[in-house]
Structure 1
Amino acid sequence: MTTAALRTRGSVFRRRVSGPLGLGIAGLWLSLIVLLPLAAIAVKSFDGGWSAFWSVVTSPSSLDALRITVLVSIAVALINVVMGTVIAWVLVRDDFPGKRFVNALIDLPFALPTIVASLVLLSLYGPNSPIDIQLNATQPALVIALAFVTLPFVVRQVQPVLIEVDRSVEEAAASLGARNSVIWWKVVFPSLAPAVLSGAGLAFTRAIGEFGSVVLIGGNIPGHTQVASQLIQQQIEQDSNQGAAAISLVLLIIAFVVLFVLRVIARRSTSREAGE
């Protein structure tokens, strides 16, 4: 078969996959896996009507849990934006012994059961801490646990973009006498900004729904270290499925709004950079 014929068959296959058949398969799968469960949560949260939903999400325990969850998640996202970008820079721009091992280590939180991470952190920072640092049942413990499970989201978003950055522009700026800080903020960071924002959004949304990594080290103290996911578990244990669904719906709304806003900002940043 000739090359032209192979290309023709390939283009026909792509049109078929990306046409009505591919769209139908994608829509069906998304409906079964994403849309229907989300719709079920929304319907369940309003089982008792709007008043029941509102009373649950505005109760003191819910407001405390949501406040702690959002504030801790923001702190975690900001920390990982800085540290994740630094780690991505080191992995891309520096050569050192064990670089491949460190690169593989970044993905460990994806594979490790999060409750195991909570157990390890409790052993390290708990009452019998081998390094004499006791953080269990404190908000810093929540930050450490959530930073552990969300770090890969920032690193893996920034790393491939950093690989594609044209170093010749940096070299030209350096040859003209630009300081390293100026090169970073004026040349490098604008290219990384969309990836950094995307990583921050993913880290934040993962943090607000995280349960396993905080279940042991967090302490689950209402009004102090109880996060929304633990309150949801408490509602389920009290046979209040409607309450659990209502709090879950609030988390979904927060996650959607944050991701949407960051996507819009990242898109505008990309368009501005392309226009320049």
Structure 2
Amino acid sequence: MTTATLAVPATPAAPRRRAARRVLPGFNLTLGYTLLYLSLIVLIPLSALVFKTLSMSWAEFWVAVSAPRVLASFRLSFGASLIAACVNVVAGLLVAWVLVRYSFPGKKIADALVDLPFALPTAVAGIALTAILAGNGWIGQWLEPRGIQIAFQPAGVVVALIFIGLPFVVRTVQPVLQDTERELEEAAACLGATRWQTFWRVIFPAIAPALLTGFAMAFARAVGEYGSVIFIAGNMPMVSEIVPLVIIGKLEQYDFTGATAVASVMLLASFVLLLIINALQAWGRRRYGGAP
């Protein structure tokens, strides 16, 4: 005898609830805390500097920022930062390439050493660089008799800025290189492209936004650097004096107006660099889908 199997009717699916666009619990509290914290830590101090600058007359401001000693410090700080950032773009790309594309003994140690300038106190970095580059240092004792002096010269400032800026380029380019598709390189090789053509036409366009971002970050970091530079620069007016030291010198002389004027120029430069970095990151995301 056959038994008819009755099909149990499927229960109708529960109607989907429309996802209500709810904010996280405690949104008002966390938003208020965030705005209060940012105001106390960032906005209020910077606003005080801006208002202090606006209270100055144009003549006072111009006299403060156009003094020969101040202009020389601007040229040194921005010029040395530009040179150091350009060097770090090339060196950082090479370091990131080696860490991503090759395997070798001690690779993890080399990768960790890249972050050392992040963790190392800037004063320690300055003392270490001075110890090896001064006239009686390990390297300086061989260079100075040949007429090459690095410590207590603008060249020493550039070396210090290269040291503290390298990780910004490496850590910006490294993840982008890791995400590049090897299939594109293999396809270019199959089509007869040389290694240089493959790099220039396939790899470089993908990492260009990351390189530009790393350059801007290294430049921004170098412009305001103080701790690692003050020891190796020598801080000689019109020769190796950087802008942060000029500001400190004016404060020690109770020239608050001059210090405010110089600091406002640095604040404006930092704001412009921040806009450039954000614009480069947004351009990279739009063009390369997440890079850098």
Normalising by the smaller structure, the TM-score range is 0.7 to 0.9
Which protein is richer in helix relative to its size?
1
1:165 maps to which of 147, 161, 180: 180
* Contact in 2 for aligned 1:47/1:242 (Cα 8 Å): no
CA distance in 1, matches of 2:200, 2:216: 21
CA distance in 2, matches of 1:24, 1:167: 47
CA, structure 1 residues 263+81, in 2 after alignment: closer, same or farther (shift >3 Å)? Answer: same
Amino acid at match of 2:44: L
CA, structure 1 residues 34+128, in 2 after alignment: closer, same or farther (shift >3 Å)? Answer: same
Does 1:33 pair with 2:48?
A: no
1:224 maps to which of 229, 239, 249: 239
Shift, 1:12, TM fit: 8.8
Does 1:257 pair with 2:272?
A: yes
Aligned length: 265
* Contact in 2 for aligned 1:89/1:162 (Cα 8 Å): yes
Does 1:44 pair with 2:52?
A: yes
1:180 maps to which of 195, 198, 206: 195
User: Looking at both structures, which has the greater relative contact order when contacts are Cα pairs under 8 Å and sequence separation is at least 6?
Assistant: 1
CA distance in 1, matches of 2:26, 2:241: 46
1:237 alignment partner in structure 2: 252
2:3 alignment partner in structure 1: none
CA distance in 1, matches of 2:227, 2:262: 18
Does 1:95 pair with 2:103?
A: yes
CA distance in 1, matches of 2:233, 2:21: 52
Q: 1:154-198, CA deviations, whole angstroms, 9 ceiling, x for partnerless residues?
A: 111111111111111111111211111111121111111221111
1:135 maps to which of 142, 150, 154: 150
CA distance in 2, matches of 1:44, 1:102: 47
CA distance in 1, matches of 2:217, 2:136: 33
1:247 alignment partner in structure 2: 262
CA, structure 1 residues 17+270, in 2 after alignment: closer, same or farther (shift >3 Å)? Answer: same
Shift, 1:24, TM fit: 3.5
Q: 1:52-77, CA deviations, whole angstroms, 9 ceiling, x for partnerless residues?
A: 22211111111111111111111011
CA distance in 2, matches of 1:66, 1:173: 46
1:65 alignment partner in structure 2: 73
Mind listing any 5+ residue stretches in structure 1 that lack a counterpart? Answer: 1-7
Shift, 1:41, TM fit: 1.8
CA distance in 1, matches of 2:22, 2:225: 38
Q: 1:216-260, CA deviations, whole angstroms, 9 ceiling, x for partnerless residues?
A: 110111122111111111111111222222211111211222332
CA distance in 2, matches of 1:240, 1:202: 31
CA distance in 2, matches of 1:251, 1:146: 17
* Contact in 2 for aligned 1:46/1:52 (Cα 8 Å): no
1:199 alignment partner in structure 2: 214
CA distance in 1, matches of 2:172, 2:219: 14
Q: 1:78-107, CA deviations, whole angstroms, 9 ceiling, x for partnerless residues?
A: 111111111111111111111111111111
Bigger radius of gyration: 2
Shift, 1:267, TM fit: 3.5
RMSD across aligned positions (CA): 2.4
2:124 maps to which of 102, 116, 120: 116
Does 1:209 pair with 2:224?
A: yes
